[in-house]
Amino acid sequence: YTEVFDMLYDMNMSEGMLVLGDFNLPFVTGTNFDFNAGNGLSTSLLDFMWFYQLRSFNNIHNCNSRTLDLALSNQPLEISTAVDPLCNIDPHHPPLSIIVSYIPIHSSQSTASAEETASDWFYDFRKANVLALNLAIQSIDWSTLHSACHVDDKVQIFYDLLY
C-alpha cells in the first residue's frame, strides 16, 4: 500500500478523491475505528487520509465483524449492502452499493483561458435522453451475466452488453 500512497502523493490531486479497496486490516471495524491504534500500515494509511482530507465511509461489517474493504473519500459517499450483487457473496467481503456525490472543489471561471477550459471538460448529463437510455438498458438480456463464475468474466460480459 505504501507504494500506492507514494504514487498518489506525487499526483497533485486537487479535486475529489475516491479510494476503494481490500486493505485487509483485520483490526478495522467500521468508520469509527482509530487508525492510530493499529500497526505501521494503518499509520501510513492515516497519514495518507489526513494529507488528502479523506474519511472512511464503509460501515458494513463482514462475518467476523470487521471491515476489510475500505471506502475513502473527500467527497460525500453513501454505502449500503448491495441488494443484487454481480458475484456470489464472499462472507469476508460483503457486496457494497456505493453512491458518490461529486462536488467540484473549484470551478472554471468565465475568464479562464481556452487552454484551462479545455482541461476542465465534463459530461453534461442534463442533455441526455434518460428515458431512451433507461429503455435501452431495460431491453438488454442480462442472463448471460449470471452464467459467468469469475468477476473478471462478469465485467467483460457487462461491457460487451453495454457496448
44 grid coordinates:
501510513
Looking at the structure, tell me whether residues 68 and 145 fall in a common domain.
no
Name the strands in the sheet holding 18-22, side by side, starting at the edge strand that comes first in the sequence: 18-22, 69-73, 55-56
Q: How far is CA 42 from CA 26, 72, 123, in A?
A: 11, 13, 36
Buried b vs exposed e over 96-126: b needs ≥16 C-beta within 10 Å?
A: beeeeeeeeeeeeeeeeeeeeeeeeeeeeee
Looking at the structure, tell me whether residues 147 and 69 fall in a common domain.
no
Q: Are 161 and 140 in contact (CB under 8 A)?
A: yes
Looking at the structure, tell me whether residues 1 and 69 fall in a common domain.
yes
pLDDT of amino acid 78: 94
Looking at the structure, tell me whether residues 90 and 128 fall in a common domain.
no
Q: Are 45 and 58 in contact (CB under 8 A)?
A: no
**Inside any domain, residue 56:** yes
Kindly state the DSSP code that residue 37 receives in the 8-state scheme: G
Q: Are 56 and 71 in contact (CB under 8 A)?
A: yes
pLDDT (tens digit, 0 to 9) for every residue of the chain, 163 residues total?
A: 667 777 777 666 666 788 898 888 877 887 877 777 767 777 888 888 888 888 999 999 999 998 889 999 988 899 999 998 878 899 999 999 999 877 665 554 444 554 554 456 666 666 777 788 888 888 988 888 888 888 888 889 988 988 8
Looking at the structure of the chain, the number of domains it has is 2
Predicted TM-score of the model (pTM): 0.61
Looking at the structure, tell me whether residues 100 and 21 fall in a common domain.
yes
pLDDT of amino acid 128: 72
Residue with cell 501510513: 44
- Beta strand 96-100 pairing with 77-81: antiparallel
Kindly state the DSSP code that residue 154 receives in the 8-state scheme: H
Looking at the structure, tell me whether residues 19 and 87 fall in a common domain.
yes
Kindly state the DSSP code that residue 23 receives in the 8-state scheme: -
Looking at the structure, tell me whether residues 58 and 96 fall in a common domain.
yes
Looking at the structure, tell me whether residues 41 and 86 fall in a common domain.
yes
**Inside any domain, residue 114:** no
